[in-house]
Amino acid sequence: MRFSFFITLSFIFLFNLNAQNAFQKEVDEIVKRNDSIWDSTKETIVFTGSSSIRFWKDVQERFPKQHILNTGFGGSQASDLLYHLESLVLHYNPKKVFIYEGDNDIFSKKRPKEVVQTTQAIIQLIKKEKPNTSIILISAKPSIARWRLRGKYRRLNRRLEKLTLSDINLSYANVWDIMLNGRKVKKDIFVEDGLHMNAKGYELWYQKIKTHMK
């Protein structure tokens, strides 16, 4: 089966990496922090992925009626999330998972196809353990710092969106378009590094993400 073949390739690739434990200390700290606030009696929503999630400090305040855990870890790629999926996602028995990965993958010269294969492996593991969990893939964002790679990010986003069309429990949150001004990326939604967002940028994300909370 084609899908299973892709998953097999992903696992072979992932578990031959030498740096899979690079985030272990940070992951341990994230788990410790979230364990201290997690109420297992409530339906839980997990936001996870790279630094765009990690720096969304007020995500719980944005959605006060939900019980939200932020397990984002800066600099991560999809393969890192797959490796730490049990600790950062499955452990919390979430009813919904918002995933932001792919930004750093493309910057690290991975192909969109490769990122999607790893994302498929993440989805498969979540569905195996938590078959009724809703999974929302957040598109890669445009940024000033990585604008030269916009073509690859667009290709990745098209593949991610297509992936979500095959399952009622999968959906796609397109934050790419709302961060553009015509054909250029908005300049006033980023901090000094031109990569990470300021409050104005996260307000745009909130407007898009809230439609997936219903």
pTM, entire model: 0.91
In a domain, 79, yes or no: yes
Per-residue pLDDT of the chain (214 residues; tens, 9 = 90+): 455 545 544 554 554 454 567 899 999 999 999 999 999 999 999 999 999 999 999 999 999 999 999 999 999 999 999 999 999 999 999 999 999 999 999 999 999 999 999 999 999 999 999 999 999 999 999 999 999 999 999 999 999 999 999 899 999 999 999 999 999 999 999 999 999 999 999 999 999 999 999 7
- Three-state DSSP class for 207? helix
Q: Could you tell me if residue 9 is inside a domain?
A: yes
User: Radius of gyration of the chain from Cα atoms?
Assistant: 16
Burial pattern 141-154, b for ≥16 Cβ within 10 A else e, equals bbbeebeebbebbe
In a domain, 28, yes or no: no
Residue 23 lies in a domain: no
Tell me if 24 is assigned to some domain.
no
So what's the pLDDT on residue 171? 98
Task: Tell me if 78 is assigned to some domain.
Answer: yes
Report how many domains make up the chain: 1
CATH code for the domain of 83: 3.40.50.1110
Residue 27: inside a domain? no
Range of the domain at 76: 2-17+38-212
Can you tell me the distance from the alpha carbon of 180 to that of 165, in angstroms, rounded to the nearest whole number?
A: 24
Confidence (pLDDT) at 4: 52
In a domain, 137, yes or no: yes
